[in-house]
Amino acid sequence: MDVLILAIFIATGIYLLNAKAQRRRIALLGRYLAPYQIEKLMQTLTDGYLRALGEATDERRDQVWSLLGSTEAQLTDQFSRFAADFARVDDADARVSRLAVALPFAEKVLPALSFDMRRALAIHARGIAHVAQNTSHLAPKDRAFMMTAELLLMQHTCHWYCKSRTIATARMLARHQTPHAQLIDSVSPETRSAYLALIRG
């Protein structure tokens, strides 16, 4: 019985410490995101892609694709500025544990098993810009697919930073029915290479 009580106390302590750290990270990320309309622009863009793909004629599809260009440019600009702002965060606040589950102070106690959120956001900013500028000369449908993957992978990274890798992956499956591995396979080769090098250390 004493062992059970001790286990309950330890589990409760871990839960409370994790909750406090997660609230702090959510608040920090939220503070840097607040000046921007990144989430709104992402929603507008993904809704627009679905609308374009649902149009019955090539002419109507082309009109929608062309209207989405300005939204892509705004999103690219805002996310690049956000990543540059977040790059000023202290190293201690930028570390993200690579462990599957959240453990209190894991990124500080085991720094070798962590990655830098500032570098992750810079990778995502370059990836979004790369697809928006269409440097790979993709067809509109393929470019929309790749941009959506870039945005969802970035969202996964933000959830990972705020919670844990497991929770981020579960949220992606619940909200978008998309496994983490599929997102990695669907982004640009440049993003994939840099992202995997970062999270694998």
Q: How far is CA 19 from CA 25, 65, 115, 166, in A?
A: 10, 42, 20, 15
pLDDT at 111: 74
pLDDT at 162: 93
Residue 110 has pLDDT above 70, yes or no: no
Residue 101 has pLDDT above 90, yes or no: no
Residue 105 has pLDDT above 90, yes or no: no
pLDDT at 106: 59
Residue 14 has pLDDT above 70, yes or no: no
pLDDT range class, residue 1, cuts 50, 70, 90: low
Q: Is-contact 150 191, C-beta < 8 A?
A: yes
The whole-number average pLDDT for the span 194-200 is 96
pLDDT at 7: 62
The structure's pTM equals 0.90
pLDDT range class, residue 15, cuts 50, 70, 90: low
Between 12 and 20, where is the model more confident? 20
pLDDT at 99: 82
Residue 34 has pLDDT above 60, yes or no: yes
